[in-house]
Amino acid sequence: MRAKIVNWTFATFLFLAVFPFSAQPAEQGSGQILGGSLDAPVRIEVFSDFECPSCRELYLDVMRRVLVDYSSQNKVCLMYHEYPLKIHRYSRDAARYAEAVSRLGKEKLLRVYDVLFMDQAKWSADGRVEASVAKALSRAELQTVKKFLQEPSINAAIEKEIKLGESRRIQSTPTWFIYARGKEQKVEGRITYISLKQFIDSALK
Amino acid sequence: MNPTLRLILHWLCRLALAVVFIWSGWVKVQAPLQFAVAITGYKIIPDRFAFPIATYFPWLEIALGLVILSGFKIRWSSIASAALMLFFIVLLSVTLFRGIETNCGCFGFGDRITWKTIARDGSFLIPALFLAIESRLPRRLKEFRIMDNPA
């Protein structure tokens, strides 16, 4: 019996010594806030590429539902970071358009995100990003966006996002950072909405 | 077998298995969503079960590792760990045969399933089987001496 107690005590101490519990404070990053505010109990930051097929699925199947189900009630703050990969020919163009449109407000930005992801196969084949963006904007808005595109601050903003991604060791897109209950989780790849929903619901309890 | 060698092997196997299970469980406990992504990648269970399994299964691994380390019911805990390893090997092999390219999610989240992954998990069967067989034999060194020098 005594030997068992000694064994269990040893095992417990070893466990606690090797694996200390830690809670990392949530960090505030840059990026576009698509829904919710920074004081929401759960914050999700996504590093995404407009030309990446998994990012498309993630945006259309998961992010849009999170926006409707949680961000609209400020339960989840959803942030989007541009992370155009060099292997994708037109993703930087798309990111530039998105960055420029962000200056017209969140509503327009979300419409442009929708068309960029829905038309992904089209513009990633012919490079006509503007034609897709034009579907979501009026003619006057498109002209304004084109003016914004001339500004060096557009490229600078994207470079800043890329640097932020590199500092967070992004190796592929999509990569998520989820902050809840003072802890950070990095998630690479495509998560299903049901898993994310179960996680968010458990974090909100 | 030499009793001292047997004792050394017994402890080496126990420590190795305990470290494997505790480490593997702890990595997953820290990132249940990433583990849920890995489970979903196997395309073997409905999506709604991925997160609950990702939340609770790692604690089972940690508990098994601690039980092995403590030596409590060592025969049964080593049989359980051998069964778990066999399950992993079958699961990985089936996934590889199905041509699904996904992450193993075994000891981290970057390793793709290959034959190397299966061989690595297979190697952990050796200490589990050793402990399961060895724990059936008389345990104390004194008993060995009696067996070596019968009156």
Are the beta carbons of B71 and A7 separated by less than 8 Å? yes
Task: Answer whether residue B66 shows pLDDT above 50.
Answer: yes
Q: Do A170 and B28 form a contact (C-beta atoms < 8 A)?
A: no
Query: What pLDDT shows up at residue A25?
Result: 39
Query: What pLDDT shows up at residue A19?
Result: 43
Average pLDDT over residues A167-190: 90
Query: What pLDDT shows up at residue B19?
Result: 95
* Token pair of A62 as six digits: 């998961």
Q: What SS3 class is residue A72?
A: helix
pLDDT category of residue A14 using cuts at 50, 70 and 90? very low
pLDDT digits (tens, 9 = 90+) for B75-118: 899 999 999 999 999 999 999 999 888 888 888 777 888 899 99
Q: Do B4 and B84 form a contact (C-beta atoms < 8 A)?
A: no
Q: Which of B14, B107, B106, B138 is CA-nearest to residue B67?
A: B14
Using a pLDDT cut of 70, give the percent of chain B over it: 89
| Own/partner long-range contacts of B102-108 (Cβ < 8 Å, ≥24 apart) | B102/B38, B102/B41, B102/B42, B102/B43, B103/A189, B103/B37, B103/B38, B103/B41, B104/B38, B105/B28, B105/B34, B105/B35, B105/B37, B105/B38, B105/B39, B105/B41, B106/B24, B107/B23, B107/B24, B107/B27, B108/B27
Q: CB neighbours (10 Å) of residue A186?
A: 17
Of B26, B37, B70, the CB nearest to A191: B37
Query: What pLDDT shows up at residue A67?
Result: 96
Are the beta carbons of B72 and A196 separated by less than 8 Å? no
Q: Any chain A CB within 8 A of the CB of B84?
A: no
Query: What pLDDT shows up at residue B149?
Result: 57
Query: What pLDDT shows up at residue A189?
Result: 83
Which residues of chain A have a CB within 8 Å of the CB of B72?
4, 7-8
pLDDT category of residue B135 using cuts at 50, 70 and 90? confident
pLDDT category of residue A18 using cuts at 50, 70 and 90? very low
Task: Answer whether residue B58 shows pLDDT above 60.
Answer: yes
Which residues of chain A have a CB within 8 Å of the CB of B70?
4, 7-8, 11
Task: Answer whether residue B150 shows pLDDT above 80.
Answer: no
* Token pair of A140 as six digits: 């006057």
Residue of B nearest to A198 (CA): B51
Task: Find the DSSP H helices in B31-148.
Answer: 32-41, 50-70, 74-97, 115-123, 125-134, 141-148
Task: Answer whether residue A73 shows pLDDT above 50.
Answer: yes
Average pLDDT over residues A24-51: 81
pLDDT digits (tens, 9 = 90+) for A117-161: 999 999 999 999 999 999 999 999 999 999 999 999 999 999 999
Task: Answer whether residue B35 shows pLDDT above 80.
Answer: yes
* pTM for the predicted model, two decimal places: 0.80
Task: Answer whether residue A28 shows pLDDT above 80.
Answer: no
- Cis link prior to B150 (omega < 30° from 0)? no
Which residues of chain A have a CB within 8 Å of the CB of B40?
191-192, 195
Q: Any chain A CB within 8 A of the CB of B20?
A: no
What is the predicted ipTM? 0.77
Q: Where are the domains of chain B?
A: 3-148
Which one-letter amino acid corresponds to residue B35? F
Q: How close B151 comes to chain A (CA, Å)?
A: 30
Query: What pLDDT shows up at residue A13?
Result: 46
Are the beta carbons of A186 and B54 separated by less than 8 Å? no
Q: What SS3 class is residue A175?
A: strand
Query: What pLDDT shows up at residue B111?
Result: 80
Q: Any chain A CB within 8 A of the CB of B57?
A: no
CA distance B35 to B103: 10
CA distance A135 to B77: 62
Q: What SS3 class is residue A43?
A: strand
Phi/psi at B120 (5° precision): -60, -45
Q: Mean of the per-residue pLDDT values for chain B?
A: 87
Of B22, B33, B52, the CB nearest to A185: B33
Which residues of chain A have a CB within 8 Å of the CB of B108?
none
Query: What pLDDT shows up at residue A8?
Result: 56
Which residues of chain B have a CB within 8 Å of the CB of A202?
55
Name the DSSP class of A59.
Answer: I
Using a pLDDT cut of 90, give the percent of chain B over it: 60
Residue of B nearest to A200 (CA): B33
Distance of CA B73 to the CA centre of its chain: 16
Name the DSSP class of B112.
Answer: B
Task: Answer whether residue A193 shows pLDDT above 80.
Answer: yes
Phi/psi at A189 (5° precision): 100, -175
pLDDT digits (tens, 9 = 90+) for A84-121: 998 999 999 999 999 999 999 999 999 999 999 999 99
